[in-house]
Structure formats: structure tokens, C-alpha cells
A and B are shown apart, each in its own frame.
Chain A
């Protein structure tokens, strides 16, 4: 069965960095676009970034552009999000999610990893 398992969240000070990982299994990872979507405590869903199946194409929400970098390793069935210059407003649960194409619905989501940015 399809599984997405995020890790790497935690408490970080403003201006700090964190790298999230998402381990995928149960499907051919290299066939799919992958996204990061976040949810601030008690708030709605915000798409953060996606990456194409071959890593040739990426895109970011304006709120994270220039600070976050998405990447993947198809040999390891893993997705990553490098987050730099973190701000308090980046505090959220970060989900990885699968979508077949660049603009698509998300049929599988991980359980999420909590990132807290606070001094």
C-alpha cells in the first residue's frame, strides 16, 4: 500500500534552518510529481512547493520562494524540503503529498511533521 512518512520536524529559532524528509513506499516514486503542503496550527491548507518526477521542474509559493528548496532522490524513494531563514509564520505541520502531474489533486498524504519556529 502507498505510504508517505515525513520526518525532520522540530523546534528551531527564527533565522534557522531545517531539512524535512519524506520516505515513500508502495508505488513507483519516480512516476509522480511530489508536493509539500503545510497547515499552521488551527488554520487551513497551504501548498508550498512541488517537484517533477525527474526533478527537472520545481515551483514554490511566493511565501517561501528564495528560502525553501525542494529536492528528491528517486533511487532512495525520498523527497526533501530544505528550509532556510525560517520565520515564526513558517510554524506548521508539513505534509508531503503525491500528485500525478504538476497541477493535480493529491491522492495520498503523509501524516505530517511539525515545524515550530520560536525563540
Chain B
């Protein structure tokens, strides 16, 4: 199984500042056949289901604000929120879909400082 490890577990950032969440996979999720990273990011607010933010490591889902961006390749990935807004308070998860079982990181809780 591919183990996904996020860091940090929790993060407090001031409004308008940058937030950075890291995700490391125990093996590469870069598929050689299409040069795509099988990595997605989700945002989950209390009492709500997860919401897809980013897929293929860096493709923003339709309707997601452009302050959210994803980067990285192979085993190391980053979700960046360029200018934190109050509505971004949530838990963020990375997910690999390179192989079954599909696995998620443990989550990173993002709060306002």
C-alpha cells in the first residue's frame, strides 16, 4: 500500500498570508505512461463532505479560487494557499490514486492565527 504522510498536522496562519501543506508518498505516484502524478487534494469543513480542490497534482478543479495551487512530482507534493481567507479554515487531505488501495494522508488542520 502507498502510505501518504502530510506535514504539518496542524497549521495556524494569519489572514492574507501564505499557507503551505506538504504531502509525501511512500512510493512514486508519477505514471510513466502519461507523465501524470496521480495525486489529489481535498478540503473538508466541519460537518461537510470533502471537496475536490486539485487533481493530477496541479490541476485546479472548476470553481476553486486561484489562490489554491498544487505542485510537486514523484513522491513530494505541496498545496499552497497564496493569501489565506477566513473561509479557508478546514482540514486538508491529499490522496493518491496511482494504485489500489486508494489512500489518503492523515489530514492537516488549517486555522487562523
Chain A: residues with CB nearer than 8 A to chain B?
35, 44-47, 50, 59, 61-62, 95, 99, 102-107, 109-112
17 A–B contact pairs at CB < 8 A? Answer: A44-B93, A45-B104, A47-B103, A61-B101, A62-B101, A95-B49, A102-B100, A103-B100, A103-B102, A104-B97, A105-B55, A106-B42, A106-B95, A107-B55, A107-B61, A109-B50, A111-B48
**A46 lies within 8 A of B104 (CB):** yes
With CB as the reference atom, state the residue of chain A lying closest to B54.
Answer: A105
Q: Return A69 CB to nearest CB of chain B, in Å.
A: 17
**B49 lies within 8 A of A105 (CB):** no
- Secondary structure class of chain A's binding surface, majority of residues: loop
Given A44-B93, A103-B38, A105-B55, residue A112 in contact with residue B49 (CB < 8 A): yes
Residues of B within 8 A of A46 (CB): 104
The B66-113 residues at the A interface (CB cut-off 8 A) are: 93, 95, 97-107
Q: How large is the interface on B (under 10, 10 to 19, 20 to 34, 35 or more residues)?
A: 20 to 34
**B105 lies within 8 A of A59 (CB):** no
**A105 lies within 8 A of B101 (CB):** no
**A106 lies within 8 A of B100 (CB):** no
Question: A106 is contacted by which of B52, B99, B101 (Cβ under 8 Å)?
Answer: B52
Contacts A50-B102, A61-B101, A105-B95 supplied; 4 other A-B pairs, CB < 8 Å: A35-B102, A44-B107, A45-B50, A106-B50
With CB as the reference atom, state the residue of chain B lying closest to A35.
Answer: B102
Q: Is the CB of B21 closer than 8 A to any CB of chain A? A: no
Q: Is the CB of B40 closer than 8 A to any CB of chain A? A: yes
Q: Return B51 CB to nearest CB of chain A, in Å.
A: 8
Residues of B within 8 A of A110 (CB): 49
**B105 lies within 8 A of A105 (CB):** no
With CB as the reference atom, state the residue of chain B lying closest to A95.
Answer: B49
**B93 lies within 8 A of A105 (CB):** no
Residues of A within 8 A of B49 (CB): 95, 109-112
Q: Return A22 CB to nearest CB of chain B, in Å.
A: 12
With CB as the reference atom, state the residue of chain B lying closest to A104.
Answer: B97
- What is the bound-complex CA distance between A61 and B106, given in angstroms? 17
